[in-house]
């Protein structure tokens, strides 16, 4: 599904953000990417989202080099990816329902599809009773669950979760991880970056460890080892 082929990223001061990175992701995998701050995790995600280009090497999604896609095909690729951020990035003037619906509107979905799919997505993250609440009326964990619903409502093939539990307490962290596991069990590939050792150890899934821009470990049933 995803293949990083000898990807390096060198910035102006000749320092490597990524160096000769090679790995693949199979459909329906759940992979955690770990590493100290500055290890290269954010750069790796930018490569995958085509927000930045490799200095050398290629990133493939299925058979397409995503950095060679024309704008129209790049837009279609990005519709197949849902992204979850540490700071939620909700629109404060919109309710939970409207935040999720907005993602569908941007994707060009019909009013009928929105009316059907938004409640379903919010139900999947156990927020059907909060759909008309504004972000300031929600807890941190509830805000992140709205963000997850927004990421999955267009039924993407891949979810990228960038430190999604970084601002959450242990109980809400557990809830968010369980939702991500449920999404993965339903057939969506999940790529998670996190500093949380407890999250990694509880998952028991594949763990890729990055250090100074290089992959130093790739364990199929890994734990947090740094």
142: domain CATH number is 3.40.50.300
Give the distance from CA 62 to its chain's centroid: 17
Cα separation, 33 vs 13, in Å, equals 26
Q: How many domains does the chain have?
A: 1
In a domain, 1, yes or no: no
- Residue 12 pLDDT > 90: no
Predicted confidence band of residue 120 (pLDDT cuts 50, 70, 90): very high
The two tokens of residue 81 are 């990816």
For the residues 84-95, what does the mean pLDDT come to?
Answer: 95
Domain, as residue range, for 169: 27-50+69-219
In a domain, 64, yes or no: no
For the residues 208-224, what does the mean pLDDT come to?
Answer: 91
In a domain, 178, yes or no: yes
The two tokens of residue 111 are 């009013």
Predicted confidence band of residue 225 (pLDDT cuts 50, 70, 90): confident
Q: Which pLDDT score, from 0 to 100, does residue 173 have?
A: 94
- Residue 224 pLDDT > 80: no
Q: Which pLDDT score, from 0 to 100, does residue 84 have?
A: 96
Q: Which pLDDT score, from 0 to 100, does residue 18 have?
A: 96
Cα separation, 35 vs 194, in Å, equals 8
- pLDDT tens per residue across span 132-178: 999 999 999 999 999 999 999 999 999 999 999 999 999 999 999 99
User: Which of 43, 44, 80 is closest to 62 using CA atoms?
Assistant: 80
Rounded (to 5) percent helix, strand, coil in the chain: 40, 25, 35
Cα separation, 54 vs 35, in Å, equals 20
In a domain, 122, yes or no: yes
In a domain, 36, yes or no: yes
HSE of 37 in the Cβ direction (CA atoms, 13 Å)? 1
Q: Which pLDDT score, from 0 to 100, does residue 67 have?
A: 96
The two tokens of residue 185 are 């069990």
In a domain, 155, yes or no: yes
Q: Which pLDDT score, from 0 to 100, does residue 223 have?
A: 76
Cα separation, 190 vs 74, in Å, equals 20
In a domain, 7, yes or no: no
Predicted confidence band of residue 14 (pLDDT cuts 50, 70, 90): confident
Query: Would you state the torsion angle of the CA atoms of residues 93, 98, 100, 101, taken in this order, to the nearest 10 degrees?
Result: -140
- Residue 9 pLDDT > 90: yes
Predicted confidence band of residue 182 (pLDDT cuts 50, 70, 90): very high
In a domain, 224, yes or no: no
Predicted confidence band of residue 37 (pLDDT cuts 50, 70, 90): confident
């Amino acid at each position: 599904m995803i293949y990083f082929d000898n990807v390096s990223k060198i910035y102006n001061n000749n320092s490597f953000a990524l160096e000769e990175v090679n790995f693949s992701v199979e459909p329906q995998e759940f992979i955690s990417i770990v590493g100290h701050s500055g290890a290269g995790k954010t750069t790796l995600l930018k490569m995958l989202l085509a927000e930045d280009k490799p200095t050398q090497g290629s990133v493939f999604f299925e058979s397409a080099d995503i950095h060679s896609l024309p704008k129209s095909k790049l837009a279609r690729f990005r519709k197949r990816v849902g992204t979850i951020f540490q700071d939620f990035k909700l629109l404060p003037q919109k309710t939970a329902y409207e935040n999720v619906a907005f993602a569908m509107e941007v994707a060009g979905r019909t009013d009928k599809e929105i009316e059907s799919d938004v409640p379903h997505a919010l139900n999947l993250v156990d927020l059907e009773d909060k759909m008309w609440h504004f972000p300031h009326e929600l807890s941190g964990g509830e805000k992140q669950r709205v963000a997850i619903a927004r990421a999955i409502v267009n039924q993407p093939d891949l979810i990228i979760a960038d430190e999604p539990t970084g601002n959450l307490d242990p109980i809400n962290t557990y809830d968010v991880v369980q939702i991500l596991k449920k999404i993965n069990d339903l057939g969506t590939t999940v790529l998670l970056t996190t500093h949380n050792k407890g999250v990694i150890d509880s998952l028991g899934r594949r763990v890729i460890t990055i250090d100074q821009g290089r992959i130093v470990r790739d364990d199929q049933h890994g734990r947090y080892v740094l």
